Amino acid sequence: MSKSVIYIGATVGGLLGGAIGAKFDGGNIFGLWGILLSTIFGLGGIYIAYKIQQ
């Protein structure tokens, strides 16, 4: 159960960050903002999922 919650948090965070970053880069998900925000939100999703789990 614990790994699946963290995977879901990373996936949701990464997708959300990539979508927001794509808006900044004019729809390009592989642009600088898309990759940067996807990474940051993915790590945030992992952290939130870890805290929810405890």
Is 9:46 a contact under the CB 8 Å cutoff? yes
Print the domain residue range for 31: 2-53
Q: How many domains does the chain have?
A: 1
The pLDDT confidence band at residue 1, using thresholds 50, 70 and 90, is low
Q: Quickly list H helices, 1-54.
A: 2-24, 32-53
Question: What global pTM score does this model have?
Answer: 0.87
Q: What is the pLDDT of residues 20-48, one digit of tens each?
A: 999 999 988 899 999 999 999 999 999 99
Distance CA 47, CA 36 (A): 17
